[in-house]
A and B are shown apart, each in its own frame.
Chain A
Amino acid sequence: MTMTDGKVLLEVNNLKQYFPIKGGVLGRTVNQVKAVDDISFVIHEGETLSIVGESGCGKSTTGRSIMRLEKPTGGQIIYNGEDLFALSKKEMRRRRGDIQIIFQDPYASLNPRRTVFQTIDEAMTIQKVGDKSNRRQDIGELLKTVGIGEHQMNLYPHQFSGGQRQRIGIARALSVRPKLIICDEAVSALDVSIQAQVLNLLKDLQRRFKLTYIFISHDLGVVRHISDRIIVMYLGKIMEISDQKSLFNNPGHPYTYALLSSIPSTKMDEKKARVILHGDVPSPVNPPTGCPFHTRCPYVFDQCVSEKPVFYQIGENQSAACHLLKNGKVEFKNMKSPG
């Protein structure tokens, strides 16, 4: 798969997305949740970039911000040389044809009173895709592509199973011929056997239509399977950006390492050493000073509390924000936790 040779499709610069908390007698903004706090990354044409992290880390908000479903607090999103945040609502609506999103719960995002045909037809009409006279045929083709029978075109969402509904969601996204699809926990609600089917479908479609994916998920197994590159987020900040192989074989950030080691292993004969993190993720309203991970990090030292770490390049396609990396890459496997 192409990864570094592809040209940049989308560039996120210093994205910030804060949500106000109202309070007090007068209902003023007393504080804010920094859901996404100053993150930057690029995505290349044709690759799958995953964003992983635990709940509240800001991964879904990032996806929604790129779609401009939220009013951005700050930053730039550069697509095809123009800043999406600078576009008017009307112009943005036209760009939405290029960038589509698929959500976790396909049932909630499909109108229950519209047939599959009506739903997809509407999407195509809004984005002025294809010829109206060929609509039935086009949609039939499209449904076949995602594994739904043409004859099921006139059924309603409730007549399908969860996996099939997710396929319809994918068909709707595909119908406007997007370049980038954001999959927000798109397979999380599905049973494993169905999840596997949908993952294979997504891969197949990527090959056929040269799609680019931003794949948002909490499931590292799924992420490993589908990604070229991976962003690990924690409390609204990026901890590590890495290509898939380096991240899983040799994680650069202690948080990534802990995350990987928390996944229950199905390998019977090689029980690995585990890092179990203590405590909960801190509240994004009052994030810790310095490194956001320092309250749970097994390798924490003074500097982590006082100073925000910068990104260190630790491999060709791997960088992480951790003070430990000052002098180069660290092998967490061989490291004793000082605590």
Chain B
Amino acid sequence: MNELVEKDVILEVNNLRTSFYTDEGEVKAVNGISFSIKEGSTLGIVGESGSGKSITSLSILQLFAGTTGKIIDGEILFKGENLLEKTHKEMMKLRGNSISMIFQEPMTSLNPTMTCGEQIAETIRTHQKLSKTETKLKAIEMLRLVGIPEPEKRIKLFPYQLSGGMRQRVMIAIALSCNPDLLIADEPTTALDVTIQAQILELIKNLQKELGTSLIMITHDLGVIAEMCDFVAVMYCGKIIEYTDIRTLFNSPKHPYTVGLLNSVPSHEMDSDEDLKIISGTVPSPYDLPTGCLFSPRCPHAKAVCHESMPELRVHEDGGLVSCFIYEHDKWQEER
């Protein structure tokens, strides 16, 4: 796990807190999380709805226009510079250029009244000084790169003339057009059929290898995580509860929530007629979070200590980080 903090780290997030303000009060969507990504590697952030995984990704680029979202605390170090201290102008220069994003819904994430070519060209024009023809050629090249046949013709098409998979390819072309150092993919295949999902994941993997881009993969799908990532952060109610390498996560998950999550997925490889081992209860309301460990009301192992204080994210002996009292032997033993 020490390799996570070595010096070729491209992005380091420390104690990030992001809140939203609604009529019912403050929602601490991201509540003090820290993680980092090594150059060229892939970090997965996995969690159910309301875990704060998408808000984490929006926080990195500070994409809160039109919402009440606000970063309260923390630092986001990109190549050593704190993004939270940057001006609006400096952030604009970064977005789509050094850090870019792909979103969940290819149907709605492209502007319906602009051609695909124009939407790619726009990013190129914003960040690079190229002539009109060069820009157009670059846009065509990007479409070819993401595996769209006959790119010369396709640049003239509007999003509604393309299938979901093709649209997601266009989104990827837009995101990669300025050769970013970091790509954030927020549920990029959730809205797609499995056979198309397989195509898109393969494409992202290959392009990442080819271009050396670092990747943050945000998803609720543990299969996608297993397929794509080197390291994983598991989020629950705005906190990271387990953070480890991919092998450890799937072979010996530590946190009871991670274990429950893995058991909940009906795997097509599972050979049993028995019931799924479920996590009881539901995710707590963000307006009424439990005291102590956030997972304690649903945790099958919870003891008194779990309801009293929040366990810290600590290094486990096999290298990963986990926030659970079970692994703080002194406290756990005392309880008996």
Contacts and interface: CB of A to CB of B under 8 A. Distances in A.
Direct contact of A and B (CB under 8 A): yes
Interface of A: 1, 54-55, 161, 163-164, 191-197, 199-200, 203-204, 218, 220-226, 248, 258-269, 274, 276-278, 280-281
Contacts of A193: 48, 260-261, 264, 278-279, 283
B247 A265 contact: no
Contact of B266 (A191, A194, A199, A218): A199
Contacts of A264: 197-198, 201, 221, 223-224, 226-228
Nearest to A266: B226
B276 interface: yes
Contacts of A1: 273
Given A200-B275, A262-B198, 4 more contacts: A192-B48, A193-B261, A197-B280, A264-B227
For the complex of A and B, 7 pairs with smallest distance between CB atoms: A264-B223, A225-B266, A196-B264, A262-B198, A54-B193, A191-B48, A264-B227
10 contacts: A192-B222, A192-B264, A193-B48, A204-B275, A218-B194, A220-B194, A225-B276, A264-B201, A277-B199, A280-B163
Nearest to A261: B198
Main secondary structure of the interface of B (DSSP, over half): helix
Interface of B: 48-49, 163, 165-166, 193-199, 201-202, 220-224, 226-228, 246-247, 250-251, 260-270, 273, 275-280, 282-283
Contacts, number: 124
A226 B276 CA distance: 10
B198 A224 contact: no
Contacts of A268: 226, 246-247, 250-251
A232 to B, nearest CB: 12
Contact of B194 (A54, A195, A199, A222): A54
B183 to A, nearest CB: 19
A152 B264 CA distance: 26
- Interface centre among A54, A221, A225, A269, by most chain B C-beta atoms within 10 angstroms, is A225
A200 B278 contact: yes
Contact of B223 (A163, A200, A265): A265
Which of B166, B194, B282: most chain A Cβ within 10 A? Answer: B194
Nearest to B248: A268
B250 A276 contact: no
Contact of A262 (B194, B269, B273): B194
Contacts of B49: 191
A204 B195 CA distance: 32
B169 to A, nearest CB: 11
A194 B49 CA distance: 11
A197 B277 CA distance: 9
A106 B263 CA distance: 25
B132 to A, nearest CB: 32
B46 to A, nearest CB: 10
Given A265-B226, A266-B250, A276-B202, A55 B193 contact: yes
A262 B260 contact: no
Contacts of A274: 198, 202
B243 to A, nearest CB: 17
